[in-house]
Structure 1
Amino acid sequence: MTRGGRTKDRDAPGERRCIVTGEVQPKRGLVRFVAGPDGVIVPDLAEKLPGRGVWVSADRAAIEKAAQKGLFARGLKAPVKAPENLADQVEDGLARRVVELVSLSRKAGDTVGGFEKVKAALAAGRVKVLLQASDGSDRGKGKLWTPEGARWFGCLTASELGLSFGRDHVIHGALAPGGLTDRIIIDASRLTGLREHDGGSAAGKDLDAR
């Protein structure tokens, strides 16, 4: 407790302070970083690496600022270095995590892919998250809808989403409530922040709905 009787920010469950903005927010909107054995900053996307960690908002500009301004060294109180491509490392790592989690969710029977299967799941009210490829055609994606209270993400490309289903390309995916869905929501939200918009690096391509 502080002298004024208020609980310190760091004691709030599930919240951390961003070393860039100074704001305290839920961990789901932040990325944890630690210093590796060689003194180089490493993203701890699973939040399991040992040692003292610091947190940065899941935002490309924030991570780049932390690296450029020496904020990691200040936060860790150690002479650490951040690689120039740190934001890209975080983006690539989050993309792999989302792809792998969606794949596991599919194998557990909680995720479907393809226009007709997703449309059927929507009609049956079994969708908590609608996934649509960033480089899918707007016309095809516009034929589906996000249910009230559900989430929509367009942070994966068609080829990335396809990896989750063992196909070359997938435009539409739907996640049912439960299972790994909440974990996917957290990492997909972080990935959206790193890609700065849902289109990602491959936005602008036009693929047919699959």
Structure 2
Amino acid sequence: MPIVAPSVLAADFLNLEKDLQLINQSEAEWFHLDIMDGVFVPNISYGMPVMKAIKKVAKKTLDVHLMIVQPERYIKEFAALGADILTVHYEVSPHLHRTLQEIKNAGMKRGVSLNPHTPMSVLENIITDVDVLLIMSVNPGFGGQKFIENTYDKIKAAKELIERKGADTIIEIDGGVSPANASKLVAAGADALVAGSAVFGAENPLEVIRQLKNS
């Protein structure tokens, strides 16, 4: 059964506490928090004050995805805010090994995200230092996009790399995930599913989470 990580960016921000409590009561294990800077990705989401408020209510693992340039500048701040997993993008991390070491030293799980067209081979020499590999199945920056079909092959390539290197890495998928494709993602090797609009846009979010969980 996969880990389910509802994406808070798709929640109702006028009733955020209500939506957070809904996830607390659900079978989901993680809260997925997207931090966007308007530079690395075109959109701007929310920042530290909102995350601080989320932490007061959220009772599950905080899975923080930094879609920002120079993520290494903010590692200690996100640790202090209560992040359990901190994911940085390969594309903006020239000193990735050092950044991952700093994340570990700050007491968080180390995450690396790859954009849809970044090949898996770039992680060949560092995958054993990665706790969570976040594969983007849409181009990052906006919710509600169409799923990129090549993702299945990328998951298989990730699984092969992880097994070949003897790594203990969780494969997480973000973008266009729904009950319609969840089983196929899990069959390809996905361990964790991020779902935003599929959960918060549903009439019965708890049922959608249950369906994802049983994929």
TM-score between both structures, scaled by the size of structure 2: 0.29
Greater fraction of residues in helix: 2
TM-score between both structures, scaled by the size of structure 1: 0.29
Higher radius of gyration, 1 or 2: 1
